[in-house]
Amino acid sequence: MRTTRLAFLLLLPAALTTAEGRIEQRQSAAPDGIVEIDNPAGSIRVIGWAKNEIQVTGVLGQGASGVDLSVHGRKAVVSVDTMNPHGIKSDLEIRVPAGSRVQIDSFAAEVSVEGVNGEVRAETVNGSIRLSGGFQAAEVSSVNGSIEVSGNTKRLQAESVNGAVTVKGAGGEIAASSVNGLLSVAGSAFDRASLETVSGGLRFEGDLRPEASLDASSVSGATEFVFPATVSADFVITTFSGEIVNELGGPTPTRSSKWTSEKELEFTAGKGGASVTIETLSGTIRLRKRP
């Protein structure tokens, strides 16, 4: 009897496994309401469209008991029902009114958002995040996942610990930071950019508008800045123990102190106007001209 019972218990997970389920749900929603999306793992693809309706399609993973789509006034919630954040992967495709404010929370799902011009907030631990299109404002953060933002955002905050952060076509205000991951920002239409890393690499490529400001800092990560030959900006560069390599012309770096290896470099390229401030502890600073 005891051995049989043990055998039953061992068989248990198989006995209670779910059949995978296709889902399709839709509900009307406000054109500029809040849409909260919760799916612990798998993928989340959000697509903005012209209808005042939310449509959820996709495939539920084994072990998930359902997708909950509920709209209450201007707030909609899409959530995959499962207690276990690990291992149950569901692939969701969610169409939302383009003006929505989208909030995504996931442990390990691959997230992508396109065609939404409201606000986007997305947070993952292991999943990657991809935003494309023009957003009013976006705030994205991941621990291990990579972050990719392309398209014009008026306000962008992107944070990662280990994952790479890549921003293309940057505009407006950007704050991007990482601990270990590579930060890479390209753009020309931004007003303020603040880039910070601890030990990841940092790369900037683009042009600067007349009143733009670019602040970059790194502890030990190597940094590289690529500007067109015609760039007009005031540069203030300091590094405590790193190297400064400057291809933009101007004076050579000077030692700021007799007793330490700290180096400073201040110069104006072109007519000045924009401001570039770069600080590192030991990371190299490379200023290059775009070929």
- Contact set with other proteins (CB under 8 A): 2, 5-6, 8-9, 11-13, 15-19, 21, 62-66, 68, 70, 72, 77, 79, 81-86, 107, 125, 143, 161-162, 177, 179-180, 196, 198-199, 217, 219-220, 238, 240-241, 256-257, 259-260, 262, 279, 281-282
Counting Cα atoms < 13 Å in the Cβ hemisphere of 186 gives 11
Nearer to other proteins, 67 or 231 (CB): 67
Nearer to other proteins, 83 or 291 (CB): 83
In terms of Cβ atoms closer than 10 Å to its own Cβ (0-12, 13-18, 19+), residue 275 is middle
Nearer to other proteins, 122 or 231 (CB): 122
DSSP 199-221: SS-EEEEE---TT-EEEEEESSS
Nearer to other proteins, 20 or 247 (CB): 20
CA dist 72 → 95, 147, 217, 246, 267 (Å): 17, 31, 44, 57, 57
Query: Which amino acid is residue 113, in one-letter code?
Result: V
The CB-of-183 to other proteins minimum distance in angstroms stands at: 13
Residue 178: other Cβ atoms inside 10 A: 28
The CB-of-161 to other proteins minimum distance in angstroms stands at: 5
Characterize the bridge pairing of strands 223-227 and 263-269. unpaired
The CB-of-271 to other proteins minimum distance in angstroms stands at: 26
55 beta partners: 26, 95
The CB-of-188 to other proteins minimum distance in angstroms stands at: 27
The CB-of-132 to other proteins minimum distance in angstroms stands at: 26
Residue 87: other Cβ atoms inside 10 A: 12
Nearer to other proteins, 86 or 290 (CB): 86
